[in-house]
Amino acid sequence: MDISSYTWGVATASLSMRPEDTIERKFTALQAAGFKNCELGFSGYMEWVRQQRPDLPPSTAPHEWAEAGEPDPSDEEIWKALFDHVPAMLSLAKSYDIKILMLQPLNQFEGWAAGSKRADWCRRKAEKWMPLCSALGVEQIQVGSNDLLPADFEDAKVAEDMRWLAQFSSELKPPVKIAYENWSFGDRISSIEHAWKIVQMADHPNFGLCLDTAHFPLTLGYGWNPRTGEGWTEADFQNILSFIRALPVEKIFYVELSDVLLPVIPLGQGSPFDEWCNNAKTSRGDRFLWAMVARPVPLIGRDAGRSIKAESDMGGARVVEALRVILEIGYNGPLMFEPFEALSMEQGNDVPALYAQACAKAKQRLIEAIKQG
């Protein structure tokens, strides 16, 4: 199978975590690496607009609800600026011969109790986000499964919210597809199996899955435990492959590619990531931390290939095998790289170029691996 002509791209959030590395630097790196498509991070777009409009007021969104400085639905001046700068962003991308395929991620959106202030806020937020996506001309938006839901949440409410979002987005001109990704670091809708259940319950043609190869081996229940290194057995992996084979291919909206390092030295036991994780001071758990520091570029390995000392430094998600099964059921949609290695991405002057080139090498190696069968 030859997948060289498929739509390949990179998430801009995966090209650097340094504030100095602007969208322009990331687009430059993507162009030099031969990529023509990207998945734009909302926070990156927000930062870029603020660079053009340093006079914009701060967001008034509740701190505990908003992420990455996103505006409150009532922040009209900020939202006007976000919409007003769409033509300039599209022109900028075009100048680098890059198309923005997706925006990501709309998160902590679904499942809040009906009638609650949070549920109302999330819908009003979506009523801003989705028209912005349409204006940007993106084909899809990634919605990460809500990892902050209370323990007594109901699947029916999650499905209802996602059905509403899918319908609302389908009526925009142009419409925007809703790609639901299981965020493995959550304790609620952690698995691809659960995310698929929600897609089935919502039962809307504009609502499907975003499959991320990194979330399979980090899923609560059968994925690796970063504190012990246990989990993700051969049986677990084969079960995932069997599950994918049974999916209707039209419900896989797009695929993200990154690997995951096996916790050979677990967190808290002398892991090279201990200091970063301790300083992160997040309440989102060990799997979230591991997902931020230990997701290398597939077939390239840790630290964009610069820190390969053992086979385990190449990652253990078995991306080639997972991708092969996805392709075998007929998938021919976008393939987007989304690695995260915080230690490497937060330092150095060449981060965007380093990771764009690593993704370009990974693309060629994946093409050859799939071609060989």
Whether residue 367 contacts residue 41, with contact meaning beta carbons closer than 8 Å, is answered with no
Alpha helical stretches, state H, the chain: 23-32, 42-52, 76-84, 86-95, 117-136, 155-170, 192-202, 234-245, 274-280, 286-293, 319-328, 342-345, 351-372
Mean pLDDT, the chain, integer: 97
Cα four-point dihedral sign 338, 256, 226, 303: negative
The residue-averaged pLDDT of 338-349 equals 94
Proportion of the chain in helix, strand, coil states, percent, rounded to 5: 45, 15, 45
Instruction: Place domain 8-372 in its CATH homologous superfamily.
Output: Divalent-metal-dependent TIM barrel enzymes (3.20.20.150)
pLDDT (tens digit per residue) in 186-225: 889 999 999 999 999 999 999 999 999 999 999 999 999 9
The residue-averaged pLDDT of 340-365 equals 96
Locate the domains of the chain by residue range. Answer: 8-372
CA angle 236, 182, 289 (to 5 degrees): 85
Give the pLDDT score at 211: 99
Give the pLDDT score at 67: 85
* Predicted confidence (pLDDT) at residue 2 exceeds the cutoff of 90: yes
pLDDT (tens digit per residue) in 221-278: 999 999 999 999 999 999 999 999 999 999 999 999 999 999 999 999 999 999 999 9
Q: What is the pTM of this model?
A: 0.97
The residue-averaged pLDDT of 68-86 equals 97
Give the pLDDT score at 281: 87
Give the pLDDT score at 27: 99
Give the pLDDT score at 58: 96
Going by pLDDT thresholds of 50, 70 and 90, the confidence category of residue 69 is confident
Angle, helices 319-328 vs 351-372, to 10°: value is: 60
Q: What percent of the chain has pLDDT over 90?
A: 96
* Predicted confidence (pLDDT) at residue 283 exceeds the cutoff of 90: no
- Identify the three-state secondary structure at position 139: coil
- Identify the three-state secondary structure at position 334: coil
**With b meaning 16 or more CB within 10 Å and e meaning fewer, what string describes 44-81?**
bbbebbbeeeeebeebebeeeebeeebbbbebeebbeb
pLDDT (tens digit per residue) in 217-232: 999 999 999 999 999 9
* Predicted confidence (pLDDT) at residue 68 exceeds the cutoff of 90: no
